[in-house]
Structure 1
């Protein structure tokens, strides 16, 4: 750009020198043409500089976009790794839950077998009970006739309560099995039984 300015100064110097010369008209015309060329050259240079600035700005923008794209790709890769890790954990949890479900299914089947066995035994006990109930009632009636004790079956647990209908007078029975020994209770109850027939 400085060279063009120097050319312009030389051209102006030539114009002033040629002003005194007789071929002044032709030289002015040539110099005028030369000035037009220089002006066009300067305009072209200005346009080229403007385009160069635009190209540099476009390159900078493309470079920034490329950096942004690389950053996005890096973030996407990190997110993908996190998702893969979560997927792996979910797979492990799924396997653990399936194993647990299988174990629970086996336990349920075992419980069903035990339940069926218990139902079978209950039926057997029910059948046996129907046979033994009359003998149990008979034993209770026999014991009542021998001991003459009428038991209170609705008393609290651990309390032995009833009425002994002895030969002379009825006598209440109230014993606490948590404070008395089984031997004492047995001896006491047998002492109530009348030995005279």
Structure 2
């Protein structure tokens, strides 16, 4: 803007020089001033063009960066959808496995209960057998000592055979 004001000033000076028919010195001074103004204008124009090129290059870089960011965001969105689908599948698999584990745990508990019942029944049978058999042996030995009867242990179950040697 200052350059245009200077040009206007130079132009008015030239007009006043021509109109007043002044001395040649004033004319040279104004021409030198005009050259300075033109040089400043050209320098300013070159600087403005350079800044404009820099701004355009920066805009291009920013636009490319924005496009790259949009593409990356799109890829990230696609990847996120894939991960969400995988998470859903894994969650369903986890639920299925938890249900299966719960069923197997129940079956294991039932088997443990059955095993505990069998062990208890086995102990009961062992107790009955151990109590009965020793007492039967004791009774048989007692009868043998008192009566001197010799028992036949090879007879059929439910039968008692004995021989009195006296």
TM score, norm. by length of structure 2: 0.60
Task: Tell me the distance in 2 between the aligned counterparts of 1:88 and 1:112.
Answer: 35
1:166-181 alignment runs, 5 A limit? none
State the partner residue of 2:146: none
Query: Which stretch of the first structure deviates more once superposed, 43-52 or 89-98?
Result: 89-98
CA distance in 2, matches of 1:139, 1:59: 118
**Alignment partner of 2:155: what SS?**
helix
| 1:25 to partner: Cα distance | 3.0
CA shift in 2, pair 1:62/1:118, >3 Å: same
Q: In structure 2, list runs of 5 or more residues that go unmatched.
A: 1-21, 138-150, 157-166
Q: CA deviation at 1:83?
A: 2.3
Which whole-Å deviations, capped at 9, do the CAs of 1:126-184 have from their partners, x for residues lacking one?
A: 2454447969xx776238xxxxxxxxxxxxxxxxxxxxxxxxxxxxxxxxxxxxxxxxx
Say whether residues 1:62 and 2:62 are aligned partners: yes
Change (3 A) 1:127 1:25: closer
The answer to which structure has the higher helix fraction is 2
Structure 2 residue aligned with 1:85: 85
User: Is 2:86 the partner of 1:73?
Assistant: no
Per-residue displacement from partner, 1:48-69 (whole Å, max 9, x unpaired)? 1111111111111111221122
Structure number with higher strand proportion: 1
Identify if the C-alpha distance between structure 1 residues 89 and 125 changes in structure 2 by more than 3 Å, giving closer, same or farther. same
Deviating 4+ runs (over 4 angstroms): 132-135
Question: Residue 90 and residue 139 in structure 1: after superposition, are their counterparts in 2 closer, same or farther (change >3 A)?
Answer: farther
In the other structure, the counterpart of 2:30 is: 30
The aligned residue for residue 53 of structure 1 is 53
Residue 117 of structure 1 corresponds to: 117
When the two structures are aligned, how many residues end up with a matched partner? 120
Q: Which residue of 2 aligns with 1:41?
A: 41
Q: Which runs of 5+ in 1 are unaligned?
A: 1-21, 144-197
